Amino acid sequence: MGAYLSARGLRKQFKDTVAVGGVDVAVGQGERVALVGPNGAGKTTTLLMLLGAIEPDEGVVEINGRNLAHDRVGAMAGVGFAAGYLPLPRYLSVRETLEFFASLHGLSDPQAAVNGALAQWGIERLADQKTQTLSSGQGTLVGLAKAILHEPELVVLDEPTASLDPEVAYRVRQGLLRLNEDLGTAILVTSHDMREVELLGQRLVFLARGEVLHEGPPADVVAATGDADLEALFLRVAGIGQGAGS
Amino acid sequence: MKAVALRHWRAQARQPGYWYILIALPVLDAIMFASIGVAYGEDDRPVAVLVTGIMLFHLVWQLTLNAALGFLEEIWSSNLLNLMTTPLREHEFLAGLTLISLVRTAVGIILVGLTGAVLYSVSPTSAGLVLIPGAMILLLFGWAVSLGVIALVLRYGESAEVFSWGFIFLLIPLSGVFYPTEALPGVLQPVSQIVPITQVFDAIRIGLDGGGIAWGQLSIALAGTLVTALLAVMLLKKMLHSFRTKGLVTNFS
């Protein structure tokens, strides 16, 4: 499986704090990777460097063979992004919002792309609703629709199910699995929900204090550390609880 | 560019505050300044000077304000990260903001001109052809200031919002929009000469007095405005770099 996204030696320091200290991340074509770690582990900083929103002090990010620092537009053409905490532009309808982002991706038929994305997440009924009136769950689903408008090769998701009720969170997870299985879309996801990580992540990259602590299929990582499960491992690394490997 | 302009037109059209800035402020300003001219002037000239002045003031102010407010709308919507993770280039975004700002600025100055013409019988083109190069220089200056304001908002966040409307107010009294800069206190007169648009307003007054196009003043104004624009572009590039290296996008997400 060739790497669609490949980052090597990513390092970022904010004043005296090393947020990310030399991280390698790769996501293969059609692969599902989960980036996990306790608060302050450097997940979001890593993710934002992978997306070009934060410039690394050191390291290289390549997406589809294009160097992100030198060809951001080309590199990002095949990437979609959504975050559970990220609102949508105000005072626009859902359809107008999605058409706007479809246009930014240079799609020749934005309306068809919007209809397809709305159908993918089963939210056609929200098309004419103003974004500021959406519930948290509806906003997340629209954000996900935004992320897949241009049928990206890779979808990057930061805490996509944070503060969602179980029903919407289930729909999100199932939708992402469908996207991956039906279209072969690669997924890079961060989450604090370890059951979600086990479900979505074929491979996980476990960060702690800005470095990769463990990497591999979730079951292999748990087996290697001797913890009861991923949650126990997470709690042990976070300094809470007594994992078997402690 | 078109997508950004359309997105902002839709968002602004649905907010009453933007309509107030677009319609009420230019009309009220025109009424206030023209009435001052009527009250204290002995002939039509003061009204013409004040109406032309407020029209040109709105040319600069509306462009700066609308571009800055457009950018702030992205911040208030926490939309910067969404934009940064698309293939949108910075200059395309700025071009879209500039386009919608130009449209709104055009509406504003047309309203000032119409108010002067209909209510005070003052032609908005009293100054003659000098208005064309003068307006071009003022637009360029307003665009440069808007880039500077966007740069400051990028670096200092919403606390720099005050510059979106306040910076031009700093320059307006110094640049002699409504009076020759000789009317300023002596200590401020040298300062007024380093404000690039001072020479534009001088040229406009010469035009109002029937003196034709003062190319000398306009050339000085253009040179100063080009330097201002260059500095603004450099500042914006520096702040964009700082924005990415300091990870400031997390402050707006």
What residues in A contact B85, CB-CB < 8 Å?
51-53, 76, 79, 81, 156
Neighbours of A202 (CB within 10 A): 15
* pLDDT given at position A241: 61
Counting other chains too, the contacts that A138-143 makes at CB distance below 8 Å and 24 or more residues apart are: A139/A87, A139/A88, A140/A82, A140/A84, A140/A164, A140/A168, A140/A172, A141/A168, A141/A171, A141/A172, A142/A88, A142/A94, A142/A97, A142/A98, A143/A82, A143/A83, A143/A84, A143/A86, A143/A88
Report how far residue B95's alpha carbon sits from residue B1's, in angstroms, rounded to the nearest whole number: 6
Residue A246 has pLDDT above 50, yes or no: no
pLDDT digit string, tens, across residues A34-81: 999 998 899 999 999 999 999 999 999 999 999 999 999 999 999 999
Count each helix (H run) and each strand (E run) in chain A, helices first: 9, 10
Q: DSSP 3-state assignment of B187?
A: coil
Report how far residue B167's alpha carbon sits from residue A121's, in angstroms, rounded to the nearest whole number: 46
Query: How do strand A154-158 and strand A186-190 relate by DSSP bridges?
Result: parallel
Confidence tier at B77 by pLDDT (50, 70, 90)? confident
How distant is the Cα of B28 from the closest Cα of chain A, in angstroms?
A: 27
Residue B208 has pLDDT above 50, yes or no: yes
pLDDT digit string, tens, across residues A11-41: 999 988 999 999 999 999 999 999 999 988 9
Q: Is B247 left (phi over 0), alpha (psi -120 to 50) or beta?
A: left
Task: For residue A93, list its beta bridge partners.
Answer: A130
Residue of B nearest to A99 (CA): B3
Contact B67, B150 (CB under 8 A): yes
Confidence tier at A85 by pLDDT (50, 70, 90)? confident
* pLDDT given at position A117: 94
The residue among A177, A179, A180, A160 whose CA lies nearest residue A169 is A160
Residue B147 has pLDDT above 70, yes or no: yes
Does the pTM surpass 0.90? The reply is: no
Query: How do strand A186-190 and strand A32-36 relate by DSSP bridges?
Result: parallel
Report how far residue B20's alpha carbon sits from residue A186's, in angstroms, rounded to the nearest whole number: 47
Residue A244 has pLDDT above 50, yes or no: no
Over residues A214-239, the mean pLDDT reads 91
Contact B134, B42 (CB under 8 A): no
pLDDT digit string, tens, across residues A122-144: 999 999 999 999 988 899 999 99
How distant is the Cα of B77 from the closest Cα of chain A, in angstroms?
A: 5
Q: What angle do CA A86, A92, A97 make, to 5 degrees?
A: 60
Over residues B129-152, the mean pLDDT reads 94
How distant is the Cα of B98 from the closest Cα of chain A, in angstroms?
A: 17
Neighbours of A124 (CB within 10 A): 12
How distant is the Cα of B175 from the closest Cα of chain A, in angstroms?
A: 37
**A164 vs A66, residue with greater confidence:** A66
Task: For residue A23, list its beta bridge partners.
Answer: A10
Which residues on chain A place their C-beta less than 8 Å from a C-beta of chain B? Answer: 12, 14, 19, 44-45, 48, 51-55, 57, 72-74, 76-77, 79, 81, 83, 85-92, 96, 100-101, 103-106, 146, 156
**What is each CA distance from A22 to A10, A46, A57, in whole angstroms?**
5, 10, 10
Over residues A218-234, the mean pLDDT reads 91
Confidence tier at B23 by pLDDT (50, 70, 90)? very high
Mutation choice for A interface testing from B80, B85, B88, B89 by most A CBs within 10 A: B85
What residues in A contact B78, CB-CB < 8 Å?
86-87
Residue of B nearest to A92 (CA): B11
How distant is the Cα of A245 from the closest Cα of chain B, in angstroms?
A: 35
Contact A45, A54 (CB under 8 A): yes
* pLDDT given at position B156: 86
Residue B106 has pLDDT above 50, yes or no: yes
Report how far residue B80's alpha carbon sits from residue B72's, in angstroms, rounded to the nearest whole number: 10
**A241 vs A223, residue with greater confidence:** A223
The residue among B81, B214, B134 whose CA lies nearest residue A82 is B81
Nearest Cβ partner for B86 among A44, A85, A105: A105
Task: For residue A34, list its beta bridge partners.
Answer: A189, A204
Which residues on chain B place their C-beta less than 8 Å from a C-beta of chain A? Answer: 2-3, 6-7, 10-11, 14-15, 73-74, 76-79, 81-89, 241, 244-247, 249-250, 253
Mutation choice for A interface testing from B8, B77, B80, B82 by most A CBs within 10 A: B82
- Over the range B159-184, which residues count as b (16 or more CB within 10 Å of their CB) and which as e? ebbebbeebbeebbebbbbbeebeeb
pLDDT digit string, tens, across residues A89-109: 989 999 999 999 999 999 989
What residues in A contact B88, CB-CB < 8 Å?
104
**Which H helix or E strand runs over B245?**
helix B215-245
Supply the mean pLDDT for chain A.
Answer: 91
Q: DSSP 3-state assignment of A129?
A: coil
Confidence tier at B213 by pLDDT (50, 70, 90)? very high
How distant is the Cα of B87 from the closest Cα of chain A, in angstroms?
A: 4
Chain-chain contact of B78 with A87 (C-beta, under 8 angstroms): yes
**A80 vs A163, residue with greater confidence:** A80
Confidence tier at A242 by pLDDT (50, 70, 90)? low
Residue A243 has pLDDT above 80, yes or no: no
Residue B18 has pLDDT above 80, yes or no: yes
Chain-chain contact of A91 with B10 (C-beta, under 8 angstroms): yes
Report how far residue A5's alpha carbon sits from residue A21's, in angstroms, rounded to the nearest whole number: 19
Question: What residues contact residue B134 under an 8 Å CB cut-off, 6+ apart?
Answer: B56, B127, B200, B203, B204, B207, B218
* pLDDT given at position A245: 43
Give the rounded percent of residues in chain B with a pLDDT score beyond 90: 65
The side-by-side arrangement of strands in the sheet containing A58-63 is A17-28, A3-14, A58-63, A66-67
* pLDDT given at position B104: 92
* pLDDT given at position A1: 54
The residue among B196, B135, B146 whose CA lies nearest residue B171 is B196
**DSSP codes joined into one string, A38-86:** STTSSHHHHHHHHTTSS--SEEEEEETTEETTT-HHHHHTTEEEEETT-
Contact A243, A225 (CB under 8 A): yes
Query: Tokens at residue A168, please?
Result: 């919407």
